[in-house]
Structure 1
Amino acid sequence: MNTIWVIKNAYKKENKDSEIGIQIKKAENFLANQNHSLGSIWKSISRISVHWSEESTGTTTTTPTPFNYQTHPGTIYTSQLLNYSRLPKPKNEENFEKELEELTKSTSALNVSSPFQIQKKKMIFKFFDKLSQDFSELLDDKEENNVMVLIVVDKEQNKQSFTAHSAILRYRSSYFNKELSNLITLDGDNTNIKTITLQNISAQLFEVILKYIYGGIINTDNMDTKTIFKLMIVANELEFEELSERLENHFVESKAPWLRTYFTFVYNSSFENNKLKNLEKFRNDTIAKYPNLIFESAEFTSIRESALVSILKLNDLQVKESEIWDHVIKWGTAQNSTLPEKLEEWSDENFITLKTTLQQCLPLIRYFQISNSDVMEKVEPYNKILDEQLWNDLKQHLTLPDRPIKSIVLPPRVIELFSTILNEEQAVMISSWIDHRRVNYSSINNPYEFRLILRGSKDGFSPRTFWNVCDGYVNTIVVAKVKGTDEIVGGFNPLAWDKKTTEWKKTNKSFIFSFKEGYIQNSILSRVKDKDYALFYHYISDCYGPKFGGDEFRLESWVNDFTLDKQSVCSSAFFNHYEKPIRSTSEKFSITDYEVFTVITKSSCSIS
């Protein structure tokens, strides 16, 4: 308190009520209640106050650490208005500015708005659990003064009614707000009840939605994945954006394998819903990359015309144009059950019927990208459904491809290479191995197509991804590029991959192989010799991918990525279930990429 005493005595008694006197009094009271940690700050303030006092009174007070503030000799500072503009600028001690800056920072750190006032931090308490509970109880409240809404859901045979409060529905959903604004109150005794009918929503799903409206909670523990997907669609239709967005992200990020497995159902269910943007992008990317997920599904002919048109508009659809033509014809004929099964029995009227059905689809086919042989074999039998000018131009293009034509020529689709690892020559050799050919097939007479189902660089390198994507596929080829070498290793599995099984798989048709990148020379083929141990499906599917034999060819990772931890191996050091090793070393390795193909005949039938 000595510092304050010095400051106080620097002023005359009559100045005790002046502004500086009041501030000194506040400082004295403040210091009396502060702990030692603030002492240094207020000591600095006191030192500055002494400096101000000396400047105002012309007196010099001795303090333990005075500021070396030099005044101009012969100059008297008074309270009178004097002109100091011609005087040399006073010189402060070198450390004065630095100490003042540190003082400013110290007071700022304490969130002090003035030297003698500290602001209090605001506190906000949130009780959402209790709020949710209270609103859930409100669901059972049927007080007369509430305007109730009777919601009738489901088809006629499963019709069920629910009641809810109109105010709650209005504020929770813009859909219900619009519906209730357009409703007319019923006559009679139930003048405070309004009715909304939702025939396309099941009672089971609406009960879940209603609990979400009041309680903000969705429990999916007892729901299967398909039901949760339907819940997402319903939530989106009823404009519960928070719920539909959360479920949409859940499916795209965590349920991609399921979406692909039931792709036709997913496509049909969500196609008309343009608000689910992430799902829409997933659909388009998937259909472009794996068009046969929908083209070869049992439900293909049941998709809407608008959905088929949307698919045909894709410029990166990874399928031959002649196959697209086949699928379009298949879909069109399925929409007309009266058409004869045998094409030779069709009348002109039958062709007109098919043409009318496909009028939105036919202009989207890239006719001039179809090979000559396919034009004659596949398109010519149905030429009556094409415009006459188009068919004439197509025939001309077969014989005189450089001559100008009048029809619109759509640009070719951007088709990726079937593989980023294998070349066509290597694929032909693998096809020959499948059939035990002594003389290899050529690219012309190769009966098989390698249809990509997984690529690590696009789908991910997690072992779990392999099992989720490849589950159920038969007759598959797995190929991988060994990191740091020019080696390609792989294997053929005629059996179905099964992610739910942990056991040895028996077959005498599997084999493993290796190539040097880009070549078929020095290739190694090793067929299974112990059919009881041809493949092993491992229960630790988060670590193990495909495993041929014991260690003869195995993709493995304990960090969830085949490219990172050098756990994959091709070794016969401990197991001899195959004829010979396919690598010259037993060292473990990581990979740069891998692909899985399903092998099908070019007539689209699975190989046997």
Structure 2
Amino acid sequence: MPTRLKEFLYGGSLCLAEHDARVILELLISTDELELDELTDFIQEYLLNNSWRLMSHFVLFHKFAMQNDERFPKIRKCVIELIKENPSTIFDSNDFTTIDQDTLIAFFKCHNFSSIKPGILWRNLVEWGVAHTPSVPIQYIEWDDEDFEALGDTLEPFITLIKFTEMDSEEFLSEVRPWKKCLDYIDPDFYTQVLEFRQLPAVNVTSKLFKLLLEVRDRRHIKEIDSNLITPSDATLLANWIYEVSSSNGNYSPSNSSFIFSLGDKVFNYEPKLSKISNASKAVYQSESYGPCFGGGYSDLRLFGADFKDKGECRCVQTSYEDKIRDDEEEFSIDEYEVFQISPFVTSTKSKWSILRSYAIA
């Protein structure tokens, strides 16, 4: 039992403002384990009303929120909102370098991070990499070739997630050039080919790593999507899902081949979900009192209410589609929804699907 909790139990007073965020989290965990519900609620409300306290140890709170999302959904929601409002929150956190590799990769892949300049991402990645390569000296001037190689091994899984070609010259030279040796150990041609590509995009690419980076970049820009909600990579996923459904059913129609989905988000602990129609007669529901609805009964995906955003009465209850796309059936609100025009195109003898354009409705 934390000393502060003992002091409260014996003294009857607790001033959370005097304590570090880590201590407050320890208190929250301890009071919950001891089933001190009123005190647990008090500590949780303090954190929610002073969410800036979470930012000093954001990695710790993010891990706690994702592991305890059912017990503390409000804290999880608060953490998610902090990421959405300011993705660089993770870099400003005192415990940034403690984040594990898989979680950091998920952050880098998250579309919220596309607004952060690639030079900033690279700078923070190097800081994280040094912290996770304990064999390297603290002083850069003391590094030898083996140290650069060791850091290169740590950074390699992230290289294709950094948009090196979108850095301006000053940013590239100041942020990337000092770590050229690391990149050389990963791929001897990578650094040079990035420089060449910046000057002449039509250059013949021989670097395997740089070729992979360009493929990732091209997938991100597969189509210009006029959307506030999805990225080009999301559009590619949707197009592949449509192709999968149309192939298994022979053709695509709004009823027999209908499906609903959730794109998911690894940062927020959601996986993409696809749910195919099981009762085609109830694929779509229409009423003047509702927005878009899919499925009969309570509806697998229902938009309902005078104002979807401020008075959330939308919900997902698995009825007419094979699987549920949300883990809970609680009502929720919607900030915005969009409708997409989808059109088939033919390559050789195969018909595929592409999202051509989106139209924001609300």
Scaled to the shorter chain, the TM-score interval is 0.3 to 0.5
| TM-score between the two structures when normalised by the length of structure 2 | 0.43
| TM-score between the two structures when normalised by the length of structure 1 | 0.28
**Largest Rg, 1 or 2:** 1
- Relative to total residues, which structure has the larger helix share, 1 or 2? 2
Higher relative contact order (CA 8 A, sep 6+): 2
